[in-house]
Amino acid sequence: MKKILIFSFLSLSLFASGGEGATDIIPRTVNFLIFAAILYYLVADHVKNFFKNRSAAIAAKLEEVQAKLKMAKEEKEQALRKLEEAKKLAKEIEETTKKEIEVIINDLKKAAQEEIENLERIFEENIELERRKRIREITKEILEELFEDKDLTLDKAKFVDLIVKKVA
């Protein structure tokens, strides 16, 4: 209220002029200075508060942006550390995989070699079995021929000799 009364009083003095003509520069200057002082008195606090609040808001935004920037840098560093760890882990996995592949290949080679040896052994046994079977068949054929032939009379020694020659 006090400000309004002062403003009203001084505004009346601004419009008061002597009407003398061209020599009223000093009263007009005084009136302008009074008007500027009243305007400063009424508006200065509001303008100061506006700019102070504006500066505070800008400072708060700047601090917020700096905090976000700092957080982003920390996250970037953390991500880079994780990337390095992941690269190390990948290298370890690769080395482990290569070693496992070598072990598996060696195991497969051993198993294949054992299988080949088993097959060769079985083959040799089958050959021996077939040889024995063939010997029995030949012996059986010879004996049947000898027993069927009634004209042939042999003693035991000659008979055994004949069988041994045929078998051999």
Please count the structural domains in the chain. Answer: 1
CA distance 160 to 152: 14
Non-local CB neighbours of 6 within 8 Å, separated by 6+ positions: 38, 41
Quick one: pLDDT band at residue 154, thresholds 50, 70, 90?
Answer: low
pLDDT for residue 91 is more than 70: yes
Q: Which residue carries 């001084």 as its tokens?
A: 10
Cα dihedral angle (22, 23, 24, 25), rounded to 10 degrees? 100
Alpha helices for the chain (secondary structure H): 2-15, 25-148, 156-167
Structural domain range at position 104: 2-167
**C-beta separation of 38 from 3 below 8 A:** no
Tokens, residue 102: 């070598």
pLDDT at 143: 75
Its pTM stands at 0.42
pLDDT for residue 152 is more than 80: no
pLDDT for residue 78 is more than 70: yes
* Whole-number average pLDDT of the chain: 85
Taking phi over 0 as left and psi of -120 to 50 as alpha, with beta for the rest, 21 belongs to: left
